[in-house]
Amino acid sequence: MIEVIDVSKRYGKHLAVDRVSFKVDKGEVLGFLGPNGAGKTTVMNIIAGYIPMTGGRVTVDGLDVVENGHEVRRKIGYLPEVPPVYGDMTVEEYCTFVSRVKHVPRRERRQHIGEIMEKVQIADVRRRLIRNLSKGYRQRVGLAAAMIGNPEVLILDEPTVGLDPKQIIEIRNLIKELGETHTVILSSHILPEVSAICERIVIINRGRIVASDTPDNLSQRLGGGNDLVIRVPGQAEAAVRVLQAVSDISDVEVMGEREPGTVDLLVKSERDARSDIFFAFSKAELPLLTMKPFDLTLEEIFLQVTQDPQEGSDDVSSVS
């Protein structure tokens, strides 16, 4: 549905986006993830046709964004970082204006707007000035504007910023629901959000794509397999000595003190060594306070792949 091919964007000497390529299939929900300033908004602005690209090509449903701009804009509903609302209009006036701009036939307008306002739950504030609404409501008014005209593609730039936890869950569920009938690109710098909604994640950092996969595959690929994290009281030396006696342990890394008076260790092994480790420690009369599999959470993956290349470990670079 959407194809981004070698897209670059240069602002003067600064290369904001560097040959980014990815594809979004019809009906897919793609998460676009990266720290602030990574180039997420720039890429979304380019797809939506708001700013030109310096190099490369973007097609939506086979149509070039530059050459067939008008047709492409009909297919896209865009919610930018700051919702593009007019503070001096009421919610209803604004939605009517957007429906006119998007050529919704006059007869369907009322019903269409009504449905969308119900869906994003802004019907109760329809007669209020947007200026006086809270950030959460404004965000939803912006989302309503993106949905008006039933575009096939929705591009949502950080749709849950500034919302309270309850609203975040509501918006997430709404986006999930929209994902069943629309192609959605969603950007965020919050991982759980993306992993909860998206079928596929593209991680971008400093204008480049550093990883692209499903949330499960990403954590699996970077996760440790049989690696364990254990927590024991006292100093690390005693624990390391105990672990050295257990067979098949390839490496022990001291992770430091996470809880006063204890130490955390990362134990890398070729097989499932949990019972051996348990008995070894009980024999040494050293209590095991915690033992858990070393699963990288998406946060950790995110931090790893967005680190500087020099700092990143080897298994991370294989993902990019």
Partner 1 sequence: MLAVYLKDLAAYFRTFSGYVFMSVFLLITSVFYITGNVFSANADFNNTLGNILFIFILVVPILTMRLMTDEVTQKTDHLLFTAPISFSEIVLGKYFAAVTVFAVTLLLTCLYPFAISFFGNLAIWEIVGGMIGFFLLGCVSIAIGVMISTITDNLVSAAIGTFGALLAILFIDSFRSIYPVEANPNAVFAAILALGVAFWVYRMTRSHVLGIAVAAVGLGSVGLVFWLKPELYHGFVYHLLGWFSVFYHFGNFQRGVLALSSIVYYLSLAVLVLFLTVQILEKRRWS
- Applying CB under 8 A, the residues found at the interface with partner 1 are 45, 48-52, 66, 69-71, 73-74, 76, 78, 80, 82, 84-89, 93, 97-98, 100-103, 145
Q: Which is nearer to partner 1, 103 or 107 (CB)?
A: 103
What's the closest the beta carbon of residue 86 comes to partner 1, in angstroms? 6
In whole angstroms, the minimum distance from the beta carbon of 80 to partner 1 comes to 4
CB closer to partner 1 out of 101 and 169? 101
Instruction: CB nearer to partner 1: give 156 or 301.
Output: 156
Burial class (CB in 10 A: 0-12, 13-18, 19+), 259: exposed
Nearest to 218 by CA among 79, 119, 307, 315: 315
Specify the residue, 11 or 50, whose C-beta has the smaller distance to partner 1: 50
Q: Which residues contact 246 (CB under 8 A, 6 or more apart)?
A: 273, 276, 277, 280
CB of 30 to partner 1, least distance (A): 18
Place of tokens 């192609």: 183
CB of 12 to partner 1, least distance (A): 11
Least Cβ distance, residue 115 to partner 1 (angstroms): 20
Instruction: Output 83 or 207, the one with its CB closest to partner 1.
Output: 83
CA 42, 6, 54, 47: dihedral to nearest 10 degrees?
-40
Q: Please, which residue, 102 or 268, has the CB nearer to partner 1?
A: 102
What are the C-alpha distances in Å from 145 to residues 78, 119, 133, 157, 217? 8, 12, 16, 13, 34
CB of 43 to partner 1, least distance (A): 14
